[in-house]
Amino acid sequence: MKEDCIFCRIAGKAADATVVYEDSQTLAFLDIHPLTSKADGISIGQSNGKAASQEVFHMHVHIIPRFNHEMMSGFPNRKQTHRAELDEIGRKIKTAIESQKRD
Ligand SMILES: [Zn+2]
């Protein structure tokens, strides 16, 4: 674990995050600066290397909320949020994941 790496700190439970899924190979958590709290659909993005604007150098994917009226043009402006808001969104996502496992 690198102390200066936020992903290592989250995975090592040294930093707080809203975790929505975790198993032996995967950790899914909400971005502390989400794009929005609602969406009509999603895009999945993955960047490799500084030239691709990668900021944390661990393999990771972004699940990007999308609306019907917007064009796909990179990351829209991100918003500031509070832990309680993230935790509420995370609770809904975890519930949806758990309901998918049961079906
Ligand atoms: Zn790391």
pLDDT(102) > 90: no
CA–centroid distance, 77 to ligand 1, in Å, is 25
Read off the pLDDT of each residue in 94-101 and give the average, rounded to a whole number.
89
pTM here is: 0.72
pLDDT, tens digit, for every residue of 45-97? 899 999 988 999 999 999 888 888 766 565 656 778 888 988 998 999 899 88
CA–centroid distance, 56 to ligand 1, in Å, is 7
CA–centroid distance, 99 to ligand 1, in Å, is 31
**Is the separation of the CB atoms in 7 and 58 below 8 Å?**
yes
Instruction: Report pLDDT for 74.
Output: 58
Of 27, 21, 37, 28, residue with least CA distance to 82: 37
CA–centroid distance, 51 to ligand 1, in Å, is 19
